[in-house]
Structure 1
């Protein structure tokens, strides 16, 4: 499995090469401020994140430990839809994260309005952005064995010779949540997890995914549709994307959008959350512009394998695939054997004309379930 992952990641690097740093000028200036040369190198034995490059949310450092009950804070998000003020807060959050807004386009970083909307949501609900190294903020499902493994992995990364962490961005990537993902992806085999993590470090240095953007979505709002829309009942980030509303959907565009959203989702993780993403992907099988023969390219699936399996392991909780057309299943049959079994099982196929209310209410809560159902119905027309 490890060998195949590395081969697929190496093959997929060309698809992303050259995409970093393509943001429009205002966003690029923001990226430079976050990842500029002024940062000092990390110190072995500390892995202290350089200011502004922590990989956690902007307000995580100041609010760490502020919420005494993460579960109650996560539940409070679902309850926001019960009041007018709460609904307005949720609407601002979604507007801020939608590339359809004139101020916003698909980026890996948090744009100013997005950072403000996220901070407002956290303040209202008592959420705490996941601190970079605070094992006590991890989800309750984490076992003592896993805590020991990520501590061992951290120690090995700190003391490796020659050094594995050669830049501030390398050090910023070493978080308890990130190491936990790699440990779980390799079934708690420390050596395999270390090998996989080192491979991702090389990929990240080459492609700088934290600075990626899709500038086409700044000039053409119909170029792509992929956005964060909220949190589910477990506190997991929820992403919605639509083929029906995307004009440019080459494998390169899809992979770029996916990478941007996975980077941004990591910045939105809160204390107590599992830290993974629930992705609703509308294939638009009933829409004239939905997924069709022109999209039946194995490169779509291979790109997803590269992103999710190699560089964002255990970041995807489930992929809800809406209205997959017949041609999709031909592609699925082709690539299914290439997927790790755990990844293949994360696909959940539904139809827009079915009654999904019970499933959606349980997964998303009433307000977000209604919002996603509305998006699905619009994109099924």
Structure 2
């Protein structure tokens, strides 16, 4: 099986798509960090904001900036309320959003690849109330497409899926449809990029990943990518299209490409 390994992975840094103007919702209970010290979320957010203001004055403010309290609390939770680790991860995320021009991505800017139907955000939520990002592997042709354009489409769709999160929900469902998958669709770089994005820059935003009707020829690629997925490997479920229809959607909400 042909696996594209010729170019080194460009590490990408993204942060959750949250709005600064929303009030910070703080639960009234104490949380313990890795040092078993009781902490108060609001005070921890203030500490991060003060550190960023002092040491990273050049970072932007506002939505997805160094004073975005929703984003700060999310990275604190991801880093188990470790200030130093949260600041490190958050600053990289903010810097990369600037470099990648995430705020400038739009439906128009990714329209050409989006029209291929290779990936899309489903119009309906799954039965658990999660937004659904669908990837149709058989429509992905890495040798004929620009890697950067694929990455832009990926980021745009992640942002779009997260923007559809209902109140009280924090995760999305990813579905990889491998029906019709061939060697010409194999792309180690892109799979690694995709999971790095979720692992480092959208932490804990991916609730589950379904690999649907995976062919035998995919498994050598899976053995390469699995060690790189870290904790996300446990989120992957290999299943059939019938399972997708029966367990994750109703007759009226199932994606068109999974209907009988």
Give TM-score, length-normalised by structure 2: 0.74
**Equivalent-residue separation in structure 2 for 1:327 and 1:250 (angstroms):** 24
- Cα offset, 1:316, TM superposition: 0.6
Q: Tell me if 1:280 matches 2:168.
A: no
How many correspondences in the alignment?
A: 240
Q: What is the match of residue 367 of structure 1?
A: 252
1:347 aligns with 2:233: no
- The partner residue of 1:209 within 91, 98, 102 is 102
Moved more, 296-305 or 224-233: 224-233
Deviation at 1:366, TM superposition (A): 5.1
Pairing 1:255–2:145 present: no
For residues 196 and 243 of structure 2, what CA distance do their matches in structure 1 show? 33
User: Is the partner of 1:231 in helix, strand or coil?
Assistant: coil
CA separation of 1:216 and 1:233: change in aligned 2, threshold 3 A: closer
Please give the per-residue CA displacement for 1:324-357, whole angstroms capped at 9, x wherever unaligned: 222221111012112222x1111111122x4555
Contact 1:229 1:239 (C-alpha < 8 Å) held by counterparts: no
* Runs (5+) with no aligned partner, structure 2: 1-7, 33-37
Q: Could you tell me the TM-score, scaled by structure 1's length?
A: 0.53
Does structure 1 conserve the Cα–Cα contact (< 8 Å) formed by 2:12 and 2:96?
yes
Greater per-residue helix proportion:
1
CA spacing shift, 1:193–1:132, aligned 2, 3 Å: same
CA shift, 1:155, in A, is: 0.9
Residue 339 of structure 1 aligns to a residue in which SS?
A: helix
What root-mean-square deviation, in Å, do the aligned CA atoms of Structure 1 and Structure 2 show? 3.6
Where do 5+ consecutive residues of structure 1 fail to align? 1-8, 17-53, 62-130
* Preserved CA contact (<8 Å) 1:277 1:316: yes
Q: Is contact 1:210-1:260 (8 Å) kept?
A: no
Equivalent residue for 1:325? 215
In 2, the alpha carbon distance for the partners of 1:309 and 1:197 equals 13
2:178 and 2:215 in contact (8 A); partners too: yes
C-alpha contact (below 8 Å) 2:114/2:120 kept by paired residues:
no
1:301 to partner: Cα distance:
2.2
- 2:4 aligns with none
State how far apart, in whole Å, the 2-side matches of 1:242 and 1:143 are: 43
Alignment correspondent of 1:162: 55
Cα distance in 2, alignment partners of residues 168 and 162 from structure 1:
17
Instruction: Measure, in 1, the Cα distance between the counterparts of 2:94 and 2:113.
Output: 32
